[in-house]
């Protein structure tokens, strides 16, 4: 079963705008990771945030983690057409047999 829920399911914005995606999860985690997937291809790792971290940056990406609310957000600033993809959060649970538990993803479309 999916642990994570992502919000929104789909997001369409203009190039240059910022995009924010949210992820909620259910159990205690070691870390949370964000991945990007283009048109049913393989997943590309974007960023990993540990359970003891609250915020992390990588280029135009900013990730926050609130373990008390069991939620995370991914902010992409100054979006580009090439950012069009599906974005997934994945949690590494402390307990359980699952390696990574993925959310359903957010489909992001950047309009030129």
Partner 1 sequence: KAGVTQTPRYLIKTRGQQVTLSCSPISGHRSVSWYQQTPGQGLQFLFEYFSETQRNKGNFPGRFSGRQFSNSRSEMNVSTLELGDSALYLCASSNRDQSQETQYFGPGTRLLVL
Residues forming contacts to partner 1 in the complex (CB under 8 A) are: 1-2, 30-31, 33, 35, 40-45, 48, 50, 88, 90, 92, 97-105
Check if the beta carbon of residue 88 is closer than 8 Å to that of residue 22. no
Comparing CB distances to partner 1, the nearer of 41 and 111 is 41
- By C-beta, is 33 or 71 nearer to partner 1? 33
Residues 19 and 8 sit within 8 Å (Cβ to Cβ): no
CA dihedral 9, 95, 58, 69 (to 10 degrees): 60
- Residue 106 beta carbon to partner 1: minimum distance, rounded to whole angstroms: 12
Nearer to partner 1, 78 or 94 (CB): 94
Provide, rounded to whole angstroms, the least separation between the CB of residue 98 and partner 1: 5
For residue 36, give every residue at least 6 positions away whose Cβ sits within 8 Å of its Cβ, in sequence order, or none.
Answer: 43, 44, 46, 85, 86, 87, 88
Nearer to partner 1, 10 or 78 (CB): 10
Separation of alpha carbons 12 and 53, rounded Å: 29
Q: Min. distance of Cβ 50 from partner 1 in angstroms?
A: 6
Least Å from the CB of residue 10 to partner 1: 14
Per the listing, tokens 């914005």 go with: 13
């Amino acid at each position: 079963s999916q642990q994570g829920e992502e919000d929104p399911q789909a997001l369409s914005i203009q190039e240059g705008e910022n995009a924010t995606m949210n992820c909620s999860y259910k159990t205690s985690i070691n870390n949370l990771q964000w991945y990007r997937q283009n048109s049913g291809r393989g997943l590309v790792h974007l960023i990993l945030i540990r359970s003891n971290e609250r915020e992390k940056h990588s280029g135009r990406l900013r990730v926050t983690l609130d373990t008390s609310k069991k939620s995370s957000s991914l902010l992409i600033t100054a979006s580009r057409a090439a950012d069009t993809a599906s974005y997934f959060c994945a949690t590494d649970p402390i307990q359980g047999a699952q390696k990574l538990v993925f959310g359903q993803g957010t489909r992001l479309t950047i309009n030129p």
